[in-house]
Each structure stands twice: as structure tokens, then as C-alpha cells.
Chain A
Amino acid sequence: MLPFGLLLLSVVAAADLPGSAAPPLRGPRLGSSAPVPAAPPPPSAPPLLLLPQSREEYGAPGVASARSAAEEPAGPGQEEEGGQHHHGGGYRVVQWEWSYVQTPYIIAIWLLVASVAKILFHFSQRFTTVVPESCMLILLGLVLGGVVLIASKKQLYQLEPALFFLFLLPTIVGDAGYFMPARLFFDNLGAILTYAVVGTLWNAFCTGFCLYAAKLLGVIDERVQADLMDFLLFGALISAVDPVAVLAVFEEVHVNDMLFIIVFGESLLNDAVTVPPSSSSVVHRGDSGGFGVCCHPGLHHSRFTKKVRIIEPLFVFLLVYLAYLTAELFSLSAILSMTFCGIGANKYVEANISQKSRTTVKYTMKTLASIAETIIFIFLGISAVDKSKWAWDTGLVSCTLIFIFVFRAAGVIGQTWVLNRFRLVPLDRIDQVVMSYGGLRGAVAFALVVLLDGEQVKAKDYFVATTIVVVFFTVMFQFPPFSLHQLFDLTNLSDFVSEVNRVLIWKFNLQSDLVQVRFLSDVTLSAVAAMPAGKREGLTIKPLVKWLKVPRSTSRKPTINEEIHERAFDHILTAVEDIAGLQGYHHWRDKWEQFDKNYLSKLLLRKSVYRKSELWEAYQKINIRDAISVIDQGGNVLTSARLSLPSMASRASFPEVTNVTNYLRENGSGVCLDLQVIDNVPGAKVEEDTETHHVLAENLYKPRRRYQSHYSRHFMPLGEKERQDREVFQRNMKSRMETFKSTRHKRHKKERSLKKRRGSDVKEDGSDKPRRNVSWQDKNPVVVPVESEEDKGEHSDPEKEEDVGITFIARKTETPKQRPKSVPAALDGSQSPSADPPSPPSGDSHLPWKGSVGSPPPCVSVEATKIIPVDLQQAWNQSISSLESISSPPAPTEPVHPRGSFCFPEKKKEEEEEEEEAALQEIQPLMSTLRPPRGPAARRPPPPPPGSGPAPSGRRRNPCVYLRSLVMAPPPGSGEPHSRGPTQ
């Protein structure tokens, strides 16, 4: 009731709205009926001029505006105070344009009602666990239909077959096909086909013949004028299991996957077997032949949508829908064609489109499908109210109900018996019960029966009535109609049954074999089911499923180990079949996969996509997932450092990830191959600070930066979430690589380092894809250099590594390239304040947090490579180029000291106070100026004395800055720009 009240309310509100909004709207505007809001005219514009303009403007969009413009003169009474506007009568601000908006308005209202109904039903968790949504919707439909009928004496809204088949059904089937677990479907294809074809035919013929027999016997009233053919036709209609109902109910029930796919697959495929009622009574609808045709051109297209991401989702929908329509066009089985197209689209299109489009497709499909489903059920209810459409005959109805159940059960049991001889995983009794119980009839049958030609099939009205009853009965009474636990407490029921079982077991002296007990339960169940209808109400599929402990499906995501072994299974089984010379299922599946990989995927997928295996994808996903969990747990997790590697000679423990570097420092060999090393030993405090910094930097998210507001119809801005994911991913990768690197450290000799480095470069390349979009302000660049540096310096002094994270940025950012720019700027004195700070105090170099905050993007210069030992150069170049692609151009205002400024601990003290003042300024220059020395020149062990670097000082206008720069300037020895590199 509530929804209906809401509906009325909303109608009223909608009607009210224009009226209430009218006063403010008066003025030059045309009023609320204009489809396009008029732009507020410039006040100075002459009204006469404005009017024709706007008229023309509004004339185009639709009839209504034109009409309202034409009617303007008719309503002078509503004219507003603005005298300028009445030439010829003025405007009518509000007018009733119902006929114009009627259709979309009603549609929208219906959608609204459906959604509100859905929401309301889910308000009470407890309620929905007992009463399935579909029956509630039907009941709601009944009530709505009743109200409309009373109000207008005539049923206005019907479930029109055309509407159903062209719009509602495709959305549901498309959703189902697209998200169909293809592997499961094809694994069970044999069973599905059997049930769909043999089972449906069996049902159809048996029901038809038996109904005819019943008619001959006089059980069915004389008024039902139907011959054998009509009954057969009706039997075919009524025996098809309905995909909509099955989906609606089984998804709620969560039976196990196999059961679901069998029943659902059956419901999809038996559409091909049911009757096209418009043409007389041909029992076979065209087979699935055409479906392949529709898919392929479209699938291929999606390869090329990379540039126009925004229409990608549309492709999926159009493709699938076109497949449906095409099949309908040739009166083939549209459902079948759509299903297969959906499966194909899922495999090939989804791989091509972007992640976002995937999400869009997913949500849109689900939204459409659930709305369509809701509407179907409501309309079913509404249609049932209209008495003029059907005629009741008790005999026909009850006979049909009985026959349907009996033959369904018989068919399922018989086929299962045959199938179980062939199936790998036999279907046990429980499954059979659920399957026969799950033979739901639904809207498809109803729509088909409404489509029957009343001239040819005289008993159409009776058939309609019967179909409605059958649909209601299967959907509602096979599911809990009313709150179950009041009538029939579930626990009591099972207690009762187990009691019965115990008695039976005792009586027949049976062993308590599980199968037998289950069988007994079945017996009991059927006994309960045979109870009079009043008591039976409680027995429904949901509790039934629970009670029988039908294995429920689990929604758990597979772990990566499971993925690995899943794939391993396939290969093992194929191999064993091959060895045994058996051309079994796995053999053919493998053949198909080869074909798919070699031809189809190449044809249909983007290059970058088809090379990646699913395993890799799974790995990516899992990686991100557990990176998130790492963060959740505060970063204290197991890392690969703790896996024992056989090749690691002397293993020591790394209590904490962050301590790895400390450990390395302590145990590091005296040989230091890294040219950038500075031999100063940081004080305890500094070290501690560094530690803290690391912890903070690794465990905190970066502060949110300014938001780029930016609108484009064609591109969507990078989501916050995505950025976060990326960050998480990077962090995870980083910690992993760090630990691995640390292990490698010990293992590898110097000569192998080059090779390894290359390997790690590759890895880095692989992993830096997500980083690529990072804006230059992001801290991410910090991460990047660290990794590359680390890779590079694998064999370098361990001590170096600790600082790497902090330092390296600086080195990269300070580029000789920049110098030319910055120097003139400095001379002009036009530097921005942030640019002012001269070479940063040496202390900063040791205090990592200072350095890394707001560090500018690494700007890599070609010259930088010069310092690198020859053998490393290539790798270095690679990593640089990857970095370059990441980083945006350096800020021009940044004054970078050509002579790298060196920071030494001693200086730091002096600078401290100044730093406070110039905190803001420091940030960027700090980073850029500090670089670890590279090349032989950089190797000088002690930091140069303060004041050794005169060069930069000249530029500073700010006195204190000037002073500082004097103090701080690097020693002359460090004059070459590229050799500069004090570690921070």
C-alpha cells in the first residue's frame, strides 16, 4: 500500500511542482513546459527581440513548446507584472500538457513504483529472507491492478507481449547471458540440453495428451472448446521453465552453482523448444543457428574503441540487444541467441574495454534487469485482475497444475537417472527434488499465451486463466507466501522430519547411511508436501533448500593458489587423457582453448589484452586486495622476506619490513660498489627520525591534493578511489620488491647484477603502469625513483639503500636541463617564493621527511646518465625513460642549483632556524638540490665544508637565503652538475 500511496503522492507533487514554482519563473521565460530551460536573457535586451528568438529556439525541441507558444495569447489572465512581455496576450506559465508527456511520464512512474517497492521490501531483512520478492511484487501488482480497475472500470495497464518481448525480456536475458558463468555452463551443457530439450518435450506432450484425455473423460468443462492440437500447444506453452522466475527465485535462494546453472540453463534453452504462438502450432522454434552471425562484427569493433572510451559500455548493450532483435527478426530463438552473444561478449568484449566501462556495464545491466524483473512481476499481478481477459474452468486449472507437477517430477527423475550414468558429478536426490520443485513458470508463458490467436484457439481465455494460475502458483506457492516462521517453524519442521526419520530407521532397521537418510527425508518431504494446501503453505523452496542442506553457493573469491591449481588441473587432466589416448571432454576443451588462443583471441582482442593470461589478472587483483589488507593491518604483515629461499646463504630474520635496510646496513659487506655512497654515519637521532619517516611515509596516505575539477563529456576524471588503489598497489609492490631485493643482495655476485637489474627493470615497467598518471606533485615519484635506484644499486652498499628512498629523488630532479631555465629566473629576481630557497641545508638531506614532502617530480636529464658506470648505463637509461614518462616537466620557477648543493650535517644545525621561516620555500628546492654524489667525484667521503659552494648564492635576492646559500654551497669539487648528490 505504501508504495501506492507514494505513487499518488509523487503524482500530486509532480503536478504541484510547476504551480508552486510558477511565481519565480514568471518573467521572460516560457514557463515550465518548455523542454529546454531558457537562458536568462540579458536585461538590456529588448523584449521584442528576445521573444522571436526564444520562440524559434523552443520550437525545434518539440511540439509542446511550439504549441504552448501558440497558445500564449489564449491565456492573458496569467500574465505577470512585467509589462514588456505582453505583446498579443503574453505567456501561459503553467499549462496541462498531459498528452504530451504521458507515455514517458507513465513509464517513469512505473519505474519509480517498481524501485520503491523493491526498496521497501528490503527494508526488513527478516521479511525478505522468508518471503521472496517476486511474490510480494505480484501481490503488489494485484493490488495496484485492483485499484486501477476500480478507478477506471477498465484495465489500463497490461503486460503487453510486445513490450515484454522487445524490452523487458531482453534486459533480463542479456544480464543473465552476460554474467553467465560460461565455464560452468559448458561443463554442464549435456545435462542442460537434456533437460531443456528432452524434458520440455516430454512435459509438453504429456501435459497436452493428458489434458486432452481429461477433456474426453469429461473432467474439463464442455465450454472449453479445444482439440488435441490446442492442448498440445498449450502444453508446450505451459511446460517451459521461465528464465525470469528461475533467476528471481534461485538467485535469492543461493543454491549451489551447478544446480543453478542446470535449472537456469534449461530455462534459457527450452525457449528454443517452445511454441511461436503467433504462427499456428509449430512446435519447434528455429534453432540457435543464427546467433554466431550477430556477435562477430560487434565483438570485433570493441577492439577499436580504445580512443572513445565513453561509448564502450554502449557497445556491449547494443551488441547483445541487436543479437536478440536479429534473432527475433528471423523468428529464431531470441533468448538463445542473446545468451550466447552475451557469453561471447563477456569473454571478448570485456577484455577489451576499460575497467571503468566494465563497471558501468555491470551496474547498468544489473539495474536494468532488476527493474525489468520487478515490472514484469507487478504487471503479472495487474494483468490477473482484468476479468474480461480470462475465463475460469476449475477442471482445466486443477488438471494442468497436477499434470505439470507430476510430469515435471517424473521427467526430472527419469532424466537424472539416465544422466547420472554419464555424469562426472552425479545429481543426487536432493538436487532432483530442488530441480523438479524449481520448475517455475512465469511471464514468458503468460506473454505467449496472451499472444495466442483467439480465432484459431477458441479456448484462449481459459488458457489465459490457467496460465495465470499456474504462474502464480509456481512463483508464489512454491515459495513462502506468508511469513513462514509463524505458521510453521522451520526448526520444528526439521525436528519433526528427523523424528520421522529416526522412527523409520529404527523400524526398517536401516543403517544410518547418509544416502538412505536423505532418501527417507525425501519420503517425509513428499508426505509433508502431500498435506492439505493450508498446511502446505509453509513448504517452500527457500526453507526447503536450507532444510535439505543443499550445498549453497559460496561467493568467496578464489585465492591465487586456487587459481594456480585450477589451471594446473585442466592441464593435468588433459595430459592424462592424452596419455591414455582418450578423446574425452578435457581433450576437446583443450583443443578449443588452443583454437581460441591461436585464432579467436587474436582476431577479437586487443594485442595488449590477449597476451595476458587470466592468472596474471587474478594475480593483479589479489595483489591489490591484499595490499589493502596490509594497510588495514597497519603494515605489519608477513612479507616475502620471511619465506625461506634455499639459495640464501646466511639467512637472518627481518623482524620488520622497515628494518630490512637496517639489517642490511649492519651486515652489509664492506665493499661498496655504489658511487653515490657517503660515508658519514648518521647520529642516532637522525636515524630514528629516518625510521619514523619511513613508517609514516609508508603507512599514511598522502594528503589529498587539490582537486582537479574538470568536466568533459568524453572523459572522466581519475577517481579518487583509483588513485588510492594505485597507491596501495605501489606500496605493496614496493615492499615486496624491497624485501626481494634484500635477499638478492646477498645471493648475487656482482657480475650477475647487471642481468638482474634488467630483470627488475622489467618488473618495474610492469608495475609502473598504474603509476603513470600520477601528477607531478604526487609523492609517487618518490617511490618510483626509489625502486629504480634500488634495482640499480643492488650490489651497492646496503647503507645506501636506507637513504635511497629519500635521496634519490633529489638527484633526479636536479637536472642540468633545468638549470638554464632556473638560473635566468633567479637572476631576474622573479622567482616565486618557493623558488627562493637556495641549496637546502645539509641537515635536510639527512632528514628524509623534509626531502620527500612535496618533492618535485623527478626530472631526468640525459646528462645524469653520464655518471653511471658504463655497464649500468643501459639499465639506467631504461629506468630513466620510464621515469620521464611519468613525471611532468619540472616547474620552471624552481631554482635549481647547477652546482648541486651539498648538505652536511654540520650545516644543518646552523640552518635550522632559517628553515623554520622558509619552510614553505624549502620544500621544492630542497629536494632538487640534494643529490647523492655520483661518479667518482661524488665519492669523496666526508661532506664538503660549508660555504664551499659559492655559485648559487649570487642568485638569491632574499638576504637570509643568500646567507644560507653561501653557507651551504657545495664545495668546488662538486661543480659538475651531474656529479652532485648529497644524500638527504
Chain B
Amino acid sequence: MGASQARTEHKYQDLADKTGLKKKRALTSICFMIMDFLLPHCSRENLDSIPALANNPIRKQIVEAFFDKRNQHQDEVGSFEEIGFEQFLMVMSHFRPPTLKTTEEEKEAMRKEKLRFLFNMHDTDNDGTITLAEYRKVVEELLSKSGAIGQEAAKAIADAAMLEVASTNVPHMAPDDFYEGITFEHFEQILKGLEMESRMHIRFLDVDTTTMHCGKSFS
């Protein structure tokens, strides 16, 4: 029994490390254990039914991202049927903000990680590139709530964006080349101008009872 306990403890400490909550490692790992025990697993439908999400145009993609194994910091591919607290935490860890203490290298790593998350969200078929079709879909969904703009407009925008990627990354294409799609490197390149590390994060300051409640609402 002692061995298994040690193993679980290790597991949660690992989890704490991976999610970047190194500070109070022992405490967090215990908390995680409890949470994991208490919180039931949830499925896509649970997430889908969150009322606050109803207005979000890219709801589907985000929900999908929670079930994507690629976002679990392991080299797995595929998607879960339902996720538990561990997976949920892993996904959430993509949104942690930098602190004053993070070094440049760490920031760079975080940035990459966040970009990877985004990239995975767009790259639905996991072939390492965001193809034109996939990109179109992204834009379409993004615009789906803004009324009169039709699919054609979305398509045109996506095409223009794709062209832009192609022209910035492969400025001199041989006449016979095609731009297959956005690879991760190109993706990084085009989003260089965005301060990812300062933008794509959420400060979980008041993570208190509301969060707990929400966890329960999964079931």
C-alpha cells in the first residue's frame, strides 16, 4: 500500500510540476489528489451544455481542445471520450500567466507551448499543417456569429490570410510549388507580432468556490 501511495503522490507531484505550480508542490499535489477524487469525469456534452458558452462562435473548437490528447503534454495523438481533472488541469495549464520571475527562456518555452495549443486547435486532422480548408473553417466559425457575412466572405478572408502566410514565409516560390499549408514553424512566424505570453493567459485569482461548483457541474 505504501508503494502505491507513493506512486500516486508522485503522480500528483508530477502533475503539479507540469502545470507549472511548482511553488507549493506538496500542498498542490494533495489538493489535486482530492480534486481528482471528488470530481467526476466529464464528456463533450457536459462542456457543450455550459450556458455561458452558447454565444461563443468557436465553442466547438475549444471544447475539442479539452479532449485533445495532444494538449496533454504527452506525445499522444487522438482524443479522449471524457476527461478527468488531470486532463482538465493540463489543458488549463496552457493559460498560465508569466510572472516577473520567469526568465526569457522560460517565456520562450511558454510561448511555444501556447502557440502549439493554438496550432493544434486549428490543425484538426493532426497532420502537422493547417491546410487551406482547415483555415477556412476556422475563419468561418469565427465569423459565424457576426451576422450577414456569408461564407464567401469568410472564405475570401481565409484565402487572403493564407496567401499572406505563404508570401511571408515562402517569398520566392518556384513556379511549380504550392503552398501546402501552415506548418508550425510558419505559424510561429506569422504570430511573431502578437505578444502571446502576455495575451493568452488567464489569471485565476479568485479560484475559489465557484471553480469547485463548476467542476461539479460537469457531471
Interface of A toward B, CB cutoff 8 Å: 420, 422, 424-426, 428, 513-515, 554, 556, 558-562, 564-569, 571-587, 590, 594, 611-613, 615-616, 619, 622-623, 626, 637-640, 642-647, 651, 653-656, 736, 740, 759-760, 762-763, 766
Write 16 A-B pairs (CB below 8 A) sorted by A numbering.
A426-B99, A565-B191, A572-B62, A572-B118, A575-B53, A579-B214, A582-B202, A612-B146, A616-B149, A622-B164, A626-B160, A642-B173, A643-B159, A645-B133, A646-B132, A655-B176
Chain B residues within an 8 Å CB radius of A575: 53, 56, 58-59, 62-63
Is the pair B50, A578 in contact by a Cβ cutoff of 8 Å?
yes
* 10 further A-B pairs in the complex, CB-CB below 8 A; given A585-B203, A619-B153: A576-B95, A578-B56, A580-B92, A580-B211, A584-B202, A613-B146, A616-B149, A643-B179, A644-B132, A644-B179
The list of the 8 closest CB pairs from A to B, nearest first, reads A581-B214, A578-B52, A655-B175, A613-B146, A644-B178, A611-B148, A653-B176, A575-B62
**A767 nearest CB neighbor, chain B only:** B156
Give the docked Cα–Cα distance between A556 and B215 (Å): 42
Is the pair A567, B198 in contact by a Cβ cutoff of 8 Å?
no
B contact residues, range? 35 or more
A568 and B159 in contact (CB under 8 A), knowing A426-B99, A642-B178? no
- Give the contacting residue for A579; candidates B66, B143, B198, B201; CB below 8 A: B66
Give the docked Cα–Cα distance between A615 and B157 (Å): 8
Is the pair B159, A587 in contact by a Cβ cutoff of 8 Å?
no
- Give the contacting residue for A568; candidates B138, B149, B165, B181; CB below 8 A: B138
Is the pair B193, A562 in contact by a Cβ cutoff of 8 Å?
yes
- Give the contacting residue for B143; candidates A513, A590, A613; CB below 8 A: A613
B175-215 at interface with A (beta carbon < 8 Å): 175-181, 190-191, 193-194, 198-207, 210-211, 213-215
- Give the contacting residue for B157; candidates A560, A639, A644, A759; CB below 8 A: A560
Give the docked Cα–Cα distance between A582 and B207 (Å): 7
Is the pair A576, B211 in contact by a Cβ cutoff of 8 Å?
no
Give the docked Cα–Cα distance between A615 and B141 (Å): 13
B123-147 at interface with A (beta carbon < 8 Å): 131-133, 138-139, 142-143, 146-147
Chain A residues within an 8 Å CB radius of B5: none
B166 in the interface (beta carbon within 8 A)? yes
Chain B residues within an 8 Å CB radius of A577: 202
B49-65 at interface with A (beta carbon < 8 Å): 50, 52-53, 55-59, 62-63
Give the interface centre of A565, A566, A584, A654 by most chain B CB atoms within 10 Å.
A565
**B170 nearest CB neighbor, chain A only:** A638
Is the pair A561, B147 in contact by a Cβ cutoff of 8 Å?
no
B38 in the interface (beta carbon within 8 A)? no
B217 in the interface (beta carbon within 8 A)? yes
Is the pair A656, B175 in contact by a Cβ cutoff of 8 Å?
yes
**A584 nearest CB neighbor, chain B only:** B202
**A640 nearest CB neighbor, chain B only:** B159
- Give the contacting residue for B163; candidates A556, A574, A579, A640; CB below 8 A: A640
Is the pair B213, A581 in contact by a Cβ cutoff of 8 Å?
yes
- Give the contacting residue for B166; candidates A565, A573, A578, A642; CB below 8 A: A642
Is the pair B214, A580 in contact by a Cβ cutoff of 8 Å?
yes
A565 and B214 in contact (CB under 8 A), knowing A515-B100, A560-B160? no
Give the interface centre of A615, A653, A654, A763 by most chain B CB atoms within 10 Å.
A615
Give per-residue flags for B72-100: 1 if the beta carbon is below 8 A from chain A beta carbons, else 0.
00000000000000000000100101011
A763 and B152 in contact (CB under 8 A), knowing A644-B178, A644-B179? yes
Is the pair B200, A572 in contact by a Cβ cutoff of 8 Å?
yes
Interface of B toward A, CB cutoff 8 Å: 47, 50, 52-53, 55-59, 62-63, 66, 92, 95, 97, 99-101, 103-104, 118, 121, 131-133, 138-139, 142-143, 146-153, 156-157, 159-168, 170, 173, 175-181, 190-191, 193-194, 198-207, 210-211, 213-215, 217
Interface of A is mostly: helix
Chain B residues within an 8 Å CB radius of A639: 163
Is the pair B179, A638 in contact by a Cβ cutoff of 8 Å?
yes
Work out how many contacts link A and B, with CB atoms closer than 8 A. Answer: 208
Is the pair A424, B164 in contact by a Cβ cutoff of 8 Å?
no
Chain B residues within an 8 Å CB radius of A653: 175-178
B141 → chain A, closest Cβ, in Å? 9
Is the pair B204, A420 in contact by a Cβ cutoff of 8 Å?
no
- Give the contacting residue for B132; candidates A583, A643, A655; CB below 8 A: A643
Chain A residues within an 8 Å CB radius of B207: 580, 582
Is the pair B217, A615 in contact by a Cβ cutoff of 8 Å?
no
Give the interface centre of A425, A580, A759 by most chain B CB atoms within 10 Å.
A580
Give the docked Cα–Cα distance between A644 and B134 (Å): 12
**B122 nearest CB neighbor, chain A only:** A568
- Give the contacting residue for B53; candidates A554, A579, A740; CB below 8 A: A579
Is the pair B164, A582 in contact by a Cβ cutoff of 8 Å?
no
Chain A residues within an 8 Å CB radius of B193: 554, 556, 558-559, 562
Is the pair A619, B56 in contact by a Cβ cutoff of 8 Å?
no
A564 and B211 in contact (CB under 8 A), knowing A584-B203, A646-B131, A646-B133? no
- Give the contacting residue for B210; candidates A426, A558, A581, A763; CB below 8 A: A581
A585 → chain B, closest Cβ, in Å? 8
**B186 nearest CB neighbor, chain A only:** A561
Give the docked Cα–Cα distance between A352 and B151 (Å): 25
Is the pair B58, A561 in contact by a Cβ cutoff of 8 Å?
no
**A739 nearest CB neighbor, chain B only:** B159
Give the interface centre of A554, A561, A619 by most chain B CB atoms within 10 Å.
A561
- Give the contacting residue for A651; candidates B132, B178, B202; CB below 8 A: B178
Give the docked Cα–Cα distance between A425 and B102 (Å): 12
Give the docked Cα–Cα distance between A623 and B92 (Å): 36
Chain B residues within an 8 Å CB radius of A759: 151-152
Give the docked Cα–Cα distance between A740 and B181 (Å): 17
- Give the contacting residue for B181; candidates A640, A644, A763; CB below 8 A: A644
Chain B residues within an 8 Å CB radius of A637: 167
Chain A residues within an 8 Å CB radius of B47: 579
Is the pair A565, B194 in contact by a Cβ cutoff of 8 Å?
yes
Chain A residues within an 8 Å CB radius of B101: 515
Give the docked Cα–Cα distance between A689 and B192 (Å): 46
- Give the contacting residue for B142; candidates A514, A567, A580, A612; CB below 8 A: A567
Is the pair A568, B142 in contact by a Cβ cutoff of 8 Å?
yes
Chain B residues within an 8 Å CB radius of A646: 131-133
A616 and B157 in contact (CB under 8 A), knowing A571-B57, A576-B62? yes
B56 → chain A, closest Cβ, in Å? 5
A576 and B163 in contact (CB under 8 A), knowing A612-B149, A613-B146? no
**A560 nearest CB neighbor, chain B only:** B161
**A655 nearest CB neighbor, chain B only:** B175
B126 → chain A, closest Cβ, in Å? 15
Is the pair A642, B214 in contact by a Cβ cutoff of 8 Å?
no
Give the docked Cα–Cα distance between A626 and B211 (Å): 47
Give the docked Cα–Cα distance between A762 and B156 (Å): 12
- Give the contacting residue for B194; candidates A562, A571, A582; CB below 8 A: A562
B180 → chain A, closest Cβ, in Å? 5
A732 → chain B, closest Cβ, in Å? 10
A559 and B100 in contact (CB under 8 A), knowing A615-B157, A638-B173, A759-B152? no
Give the docked Cα–Cα distance between A609 and B67 (Å): 38
Chain A residues within an 8 Å CB radius of B63: 575, 579
- Give the contacting residue for A420; candidates B56, B100, B206; CB below 8 A: B100
Is the pair A613, B97 in contact by a Cβ cutoff of 8 Å?
no
Is the pair A619, B160 in contact by a Cβ cutoff of 8 Å?
yes
Is the pair A559, B190 in contact by a Cβ cutoff of 8 Å?
yes
A636 → chain B, closest Cβ, in Å? 10
Give the docked Cα–Cα distance between A779 and B53 (Å): 50
Is the pair B55, A594 in contact by a Cβ cutoff of 8 Å?
yes
Give the interface centre of A573, A579, A644, A762 by most chain B CB atoms within 10 Å.
A579
Give the docked Cα–Cα distance between A762 and B152 (Å): 8
Give the docked Cα–Cα distance between A864 and B121 (Å): 50
Is the pair B210, A582 in contact by a Cβ cutoff of 8 Å?
yes
Is the pair A573, B157 in contact by a Cβ cutoff of 8 Å?
no
B65 → chain A, closest Cβ, in Å? 8
Is the pair B191, A638 in contact by a Cβ cutoff of 8 Å?
no
**B157 nearest CB neighbor, chain A only:** A619
Chain B residues within an 8 Å CB radius of A580: 92, 202, 204, 207, 211, 214
